[in-house]
Amino acid sequence: MSSTPSNKFLPSPKTVAVVGCPFSGGQPKLGVDKGPIHLVQAGLINQVEELGWRVVFDGHHQFEDISPPSNGIQVNATDDAAVDTLNASIARLRSPLFVAQVCESVASVVQAHAEMGHLPVTLGGDHSLAMGTISGTLRAYDQACVIWIDAHADINTIHSTDSGNIHGMPLSFLLKLNPPAPSPDSVLAKFDWVSHLPAERLVYIGLRDVDKGEKEILKKHHIKAFSMHEVDRYGIGKVVEMALDHVNPQRDRPIHLSFDVDALDPSVAPSTGTPVRGGLTFREGHYICEAIHETGLLVALDLMEVNPALADAESVRQTVTVGCSLVRSALGRSSIHCYVRCVHCS
């Protein structure tokens, strides 16, 4: 049976807008763009409807009118060392114009659904998409907070990133940690549309693979993070309570929950691009979703980084099944019922 406390921000009839985003441009591995398709094919739409939600799903966004630039970013050397450093950092980024355009499109879609009183559930796709989803949420709910569930911090700046993969950078754009665009035609200016998320309204759960530069960023900006060490020490129930106390002390702010499946241990969700051992258990991941649902404050949900191309068929089925069950838990279904139902539907 479902458990459905009243949501403090959503009108009746309660409506979920499933936003399928088959996008992989924020990282180099093929296949993550197929994640949303597999989740929907597993019966996710019907499963959400069975929880009593009205579901709006107009198909997956194909971004037909957006295409990646045919050439790399060209920058010219100057006599200004600071400018040259900035240009070198920009040149390391992978497909920044493409990512910026796609995420801006996603932001508009999420914003439109949120302003209609829908709860957007965005299926990725790589986690660079969160620039768009969270921006869309903040446009509709300017006091929203973000609970980010991930093995990684995804807060590298253009200067700290080693890979240039923007799926490891969305929060640096949302927190406005990158340098301002030096000119209107700069690549960085293409990210000016990104909404600002104050650092005190962000909290992490599940971190265990954080780059050195990211650790410095978290410390410098006093960003609250509960790593797997804290999960082991305090238990997931206490960690979720402390996380909520930090970003939502009065329990009056809308919540955007952004869940990367690599937060889960690879034994639970093996088919993802950057798995890291020692992650959340099946129950811990589902408890987070259940607890956020029980607040009655959830206004947007991301499920990111399911990659059906990176494992055998059984591992893909397992990861997709778990992805379905996480969504259902965040929308009011107890995890054991959700898991059984997803197995039947996959």
> Average model confidence (pLDDT) for the chain?
91
Check 262, 265, 290, 302 and give the catalytic one. 262
Residue-level pLDDT at 205? 98
pLDDT for 288-342, tens place per residue?
999 999 999 999 999 999 999 988 999 999 999 999 999 999 999 865 554 455 5
- Centroid of chain to Cα 55: 20
pLDDT for 252-264, tens place per residue?
999 999 999 999 9
Check 33, 126, 230, 260 and give the catalytic one. 260
Which residue, among 98, 100, 159, has the nearest Cα to 135 in the 3D structure? Answer: 100
Residue-level pLDDT at 78? 47
Check 154, 209, 230, 284 and give the catalytic one. 154
Mean pLDDT computed over 199-224: 98
Residue-level pLDDT at 81? 60
Residue-level pLDDT at 174? 98
150 classed as catalytic: yes
Residue-level pLDDT at 57? 96
Check 104, 126, 150, 302 and give the catalytic one. 150
84 classed as catalytic: no
pLDDT for 257-287, tens place per residue?
999 999 999 999 999 999 999 999 999 999 9
127 classed as catalytic: yes
Residue-level pLDDT at 62? 76
Check 126, 209, 290, 305 and give the catalytic one. 305
262 classed as catalytic: yes
Mean pLDDT computed over 144-171: 97
pTM: 0.92
Q: Is the pLDDT confidence value at 195 over 50? A: yes
